Amino acid sequence: MKRDLTKLQIDTIMILETAKAGEKVKGLSEYRDRRICSYLLDESVHLSHAGYYRMKKSRYRFFLPCHKVSYNGQIKLIYCTEKKVTLCEAEKNLSQKQKNKMIQQLADIIQQLKEKSYLQFGQLEIEEEKIYLDPAEDQIYIIYLPVYQENQAVSIQILEEEIQKKLEMLYEKYQKDTGTFVLQRLDSVYQEEWILKEKSFLIGKQKEEVQCLIQDSKALSRKHCKLFWNAGQWWIMDLGSRNGTFLNKTKLIPNQWYGIKPGDRILAADCEFCMLYGCFKEKEGQAAGNCSCLKERNDERRTNCICRS
């Protein structure tokens, strides 16, 4: 199916749906088949025009293509799902490595939408039967519903907590730790690396309090930033440091958590680190020369990469 539906196709879909639609969410009549997933809004649910147009103009590939139509005076949102399968359907054909990748993608998507304030204008469908996968691309696609209910008074924080709970359930089912995480310092002549064994890991200069002790930096704070394990992955939080923390060149807002994954670069003041899997070897499909911490480094520093051991 093309990303754009013709009027005839839309009319045909709406006629076929009428007898099959079942109300799954309060105020929304939902219908799904192999080609589309649609939601009919009743009088208690309203379209967020700001959310809809942000979604339509967005360059994010993970949004399922959505079309807004009018049917019997009501608004219907139609999402194209042809050539895609749900995560639930694909589960038995996915390797553990693929499952880990899919759930990590989903966590990254949610984090991006939070940072761009999409949750102020709509909701996410992140149940496993409503998350879609393109098997040819190993790409996750989600349903973003730009809707709100009449007299709705749910804070963004409560909505985020609900999404986090659902994400944790998916982590528990799909994701397993497949190797040891290692934090490697890149701006040092020494082979400095730390195996992340504890669930909470502090970076800084205060000897008694931190697990990653850096003594050769005047710009680093005593307790600069924290890495912690939650919901099947590592996260990072800047602890209100004087010179800031950057994740892949993006400055972190203090006291907010951000998901991190192998290959990510962390800059704490003037100290640069790379998050790695300690088990990355060529035999597991990750050639040593492909490690992101090797790029833009001279030959002397390349010898320090754990992937080459």
Q: Give the model confidence (pLDDT) of 118-133 as tens digits.
A: 888 888 898 889 999 9
Cβ atoms of 255 and 244 closer than 8 Å: no
Q: Which residue has the higher pLDDT, 260 or 309?
A: 260
Query: Does residue 296 register a pLDDT over 50?
Result: no
Q: pLDDT at position 199, please? A: 80
pLDDT at position 287: 31
Q: What is the pLDDT of residues 101-112, one digit of tens each?
A: 787 788 888 888
CB 25 within 8 A of CB 87: no
Q: What is the mean pLDDT of residues 259-278?
A: 86
Comparing 149 with 14, the larger pLDDT belongs to 149
pLDDT in tens, 10-31: 444 443 443 344 434 567 899 9
Decide which of 169 and 150 is more confident. Answer: 169
pTM greater than 0.75: no
- For residues 26 and 145, which has the higher predicted lDDT (pLDDT)? 145
- Mean pLDDT, residues 152-167: 71
Per-residue pLDDT at 295: 38
- Are residues 204 and 214 in contact, defined by beta-carbon separation less than 8 angstroms? yes
Q: Which of 221-225, 288-292, 296-300 has the highest mean pLDDT?
A: 221-225
Per-residue confidence at 81, pLDDT binned at 50, 70, 90? Answer: very high
Contact 99, 88 (CB under 8 A): no
Strand order in the sheet with 193-195: 193-195, 181-185, 271-277, 265-268, 245-247, 250-251
Output the six-digit token pair for 81.
């799902």
Band of the pLDDT at 148, cuts 50, 70, 90? confident
| Average pLDDT, rounded, for the chain | 78
CA 151 vs. chain centroid, Å, equals 30
pLDDT > 90 in the chain, percent: 35
Average pLDDT for 202-218: 91
Residues in the chain: 309
Torsion angles phi and psi, residue 157, rounded to 5: -65, -45
If one compares 79 and 94, the residue with the highest pLDDT of the two is: 79
* Structure confidence at residue 13 (pLDDT): 45
**pLDDT greater than 90 at residue 205:** yes
